[in-house]
Structure 1
Amino acid sequence: MLSSRNYQLPEPLLSSVLAILDAHIEPRLQQGLVSAGMVSKLGLKGRRLELGLVYPYPCQSSYKDTVMTLTRALATLDAIDEVECEIDLQVPVNTGSTNTAAIPNVKNVIAVASGKGGVGKSTTAVNLALALAAEGANVGILDADIYGPSVPVMLGIADFKPVSPDGKMMTAAKVHGIAAQSIGFILADEQAAVWRGPMAAGALVQLINETSWPELDYLVVDMPPGTGDIQLTLSQKVPVSGAVVVTTPQDIATLDAKKGITLFNKVNIPVLGIVENMSFHLCPNCGYKEHPFGTHGGSNIAERYAVPLLGELPLNISIREGMDKGLPSVVAEPSGDIAAIYREIACKVGASLAKTKPQTGVSISISDDE
């Protein structure tokens, strides 16, 4: 992953250090640190080893444990008494498998989709964006749900209005450490977007390309539910790096989720995994775990289509209350159990994109057949 390495250790110490580092398997990349190209610097000052690591995906909550594990392992070498470790984040660019031009300043585009409404897709998109940022990345979110934009309310910025200093590009909102854009910022309060499919799809492309995005590692796109014009337009005219499909456990939701996966497969967009919302409910008094909407819906889909089950979120009133107040779980309770689930999902998504090798020159063909 790195174009150059700065290794300044004498032999045979260098070989011993590299062996220890490569024996440490990065859990989400499933590679040793050396094999994954993550070791950027090795030096020795006296008996102190100076180690530099570069992660290709955001996971700063794991840094401390990684450093402690490596320090213990490296300190077993006679020439080393202490380890000084610096960790950096360099997210690689992934413009997907189409020949679509990259969005200026955006390295990766993540589509968050669902086959039907009411499964918590927007809640997932917002918390995924915030979790990626909490793990160290530069993140933006685009509310592509033209007919039902909810991101402004969920982020507590319903009053924001974009401006265009140069008459060409619009500003994005800045909130909770991320950039945000939505058709809801442009429409008047309670005004409906009464547009036919092609018009709505055109508005989406314009919203993406005419927003002045800051430097972003990830742009999370909250898709409208279904598999229609807007989804096809996004897949053909926007360099989507990968998609996250959201479902709930019940059969009717998983049936529609399968259609969403099929769509992304047809247009050569990698499905990064499944998120199952409303997976279970924990009684706040006795801790009893029940599954009001059934069990194993998300995991069965994941197994059938050979994609990861990224996480299972509980049916919890605090998630809904936080979104209504403009305080999503990741920022409302950053150390809570729900935020931890979203952060783990974010790490898995980032790692999956880092491992994905985009194809080039793919011809997209869409038929009416499944």
Structure 2
Amino acid sequence: MSNQSIQDQVMAALATVIEPELHRDIVSLNMVRDLTVTDAGVAQFTVVLTTPACPLKDVIYDRARAAVLRVPGITDLAIRWDSNVPTDSRIFGQIETPLRSVIAVSSGKGGVGKSTVAVNLAVALAQSGARVGLMDADILGPNIPKMVGLGFHQPPLTPDQKIVPFQAYGLKVMSMGFLADPNTPVMWRGPMLHGAIRQFFSDVAWGELDYMVVDLPPGTGDAQLSLAQSVPLTGAIIVTQPQSVAIDDARRGLAMFEKLNVPILGVIENMSGEMFGEGGGETFAQERSVPFLGRVPMIPAVRVGGDTGKPVVASDPDSEAARAFRTVAEQVAARVSVQLLASGAAIQLNVIK
């Protein structure tokens, strides 16, 4: 049997492998590239995932292996992994910065650990190999610089007068905390907040990013409206504690994004455990028929990491909280891909190398 014939059979076998989230075969999704078969019968090919943080990579491998080894003459397989994060076509071309997706992290009330979630989510996505930006859109009360260990520093400018974002933990980071004296309160009205958020998109040299994570202030005010008006949002994440009073506020936050026609990527239950209980966030997600992205336990290492500028996913990667954040990041990345590809709002660019 010719080598070409065996390759055709291998490709036909791979066409029976269904991507678990997208519910289509990996060949029609153009996920299989560079297929060759060695003289020893080893099928070699690349699988291009829709995110480097794919939570179902092992499932795809097992299904591909089972399918390919049924082909006569195939003795083994060697899969190379790559990724090509879908680009939100509504963003593409609308702003100068080449962003593939914009993810808003929001909460209905303060004190639920929203910024902690945003930071650790962004770091976990970066650890997976994605190109990630972290924008602190809490103009009046910026906390992100301290939480990533940067503090107050004036950012440099490019020759064309763009602001250069700082880098920490594999992220590109921008915040009003870099531009304003931390001892002086920022007292701005709505139009000024709107202008600042727009400038964070237009006047910062972000470069190409797979995910822009935007940490919003708590509540349902000017910042949320300004963000939704400044750039099409790929989706919003609602962060809540398990307790009922936090759920009530989260419900209002979710309703606001629905009114703004922003897709809801899901709900994250933070500070889960003995003090605040457990399960409220999951129940809320079920009630509103939105994905539950996971729960993060309330442990001291999370707070310490925020206070010292050492996010727990980086400082204590084997902790229960770090594992929870990585699981959440995988779920968020998967939901972004599913949301874009299912809605037809995605375009594919070059494969990341």
Give the TM-score normalised by the residue count of structure 2. Answer: 0.89
Moved more, 55-64 or 227-236: 55-64
Report whether the alignment pairs 1:121 with 2:114.
Answer: yes
Matches within 5 A, 1:21-36: 21-36=14-29
CA distance in 2 between counterparts of 1:294 and 1:235 reads 33
CA distance in 2 between counterparts of 1:297 and 1:231 reads 24
Report whether the alignment pairs 1:244 with 2:237.
Answer: yes
Moved more, 270-279 or 67-76: 67-76
CA distance in 1 between counterparts of 2:223 and 2:193 reads 7
- CA shift digits 1:259-315 (9 cap, x unpaired): 1111111111111000000111xxxxxxxxx3x323421112211221111010111
Q: Secondary structure at the match of 2:328?
A: helix
Aligned residue pairs, count: 341
Give the TM-score normalised by the residue count of structure 1. Answer: 0.85
| Match 1:327 to one of 307, 310, 328 | 310
- CA shift digits 1:148-200 (9 cap, x unpaired): 11110000001432122335310000111110000000111222111112212
Structure 2 vs 1, CA of residues 112 and 39 (structure 1 numbering), >3 Å: closer, same or farther? same
Structure 2 vs 1, CA of residues 337 and 35 (structure 1 numbering), >3 Å: closer, same or farther? farther
Structure 2 vs 1, CA of residues 240 and 131 (structure 1 numbering), >3 Å: closer, same or farther? same
Report whether the alignment pairs 1:213 with 2:196.
Answer: no
Structure 2 vs 1, CA of residues 359 and 256 (structure 1 numbering), >3 Å: closer, same or farther? farther
Please name the residue that 2:333 is paired with.
350
CA distance in 1 between counterparts of 2:269 and 2:53 reads 22
Indicate the percent of aligned positions where both proteins have the same amino acid.
38
Please name the residue that 2:43 is paired with.
49
Q: CA deviation at 1:35?
A: 4.6
Q: CA deviation at 1:41?
A: 3.1
Q: CA deviation at 1:126?
A: 0.5
| Match 2:81 to one of 87, 99, 109 | 87
Structure 2 vs 1, CA of residues 175 and 9 (structure 1 numbering), >3 Å: closer, same or farther? farther
* Structure 1 gap segments, 5+ residues each: 1-7, 281-289, 361-370
Q: CA deviation at 1:57?
A: 1.4
Report whether the alignment pairs 1:132 with 2:115.
Answer: no
Moved more, 156-165 or 318-327: 156-165
Report whether the alignment pairs 1:183 with 2:166.
Answer: no
Please name the residue that 1:337 is paired with.
320
Counterpart residue type for residue 83 of structure 1: L
- CA shift digits 1:340-369 (9 cap, x unpaired): 211121111111111224578xxxxxxxxx
Moved more, 301-310 or 98-107: 98-107
Q: CA deviation at 1:214?
A: 2.0
Moved more, 131-140 or 202-211: 202-211
CA distance in 2 between counterparts of 1:101 and 1:333 reads 39
Report whether the alignment pairs 1:192 with 2:185.
Answer: yes
Q: CA deviation at 1:137?
A: 0.5
- CA shift digits 1:58-77 (9 cap, x unpaired): 22686567546644553343
Contact 1:160 1:173 in 2 (8 A): no
Report whether the alignment pairs 1:59 with 2:53.
Answer: yes
Counterpart residue type for residue 189 of structure 2: R
| Match 2:251 to one of 241, 258, 269 | 258
Structure 2 vs 1, CA of residues 76 and 230 (structure 1 numbering), >3 Å: closer, same or farther? same
Contact 2:118 2:214 in 1 (8 A): yes
Report whether the alignment pairs 1:309 with 2:292.
Answer: yes
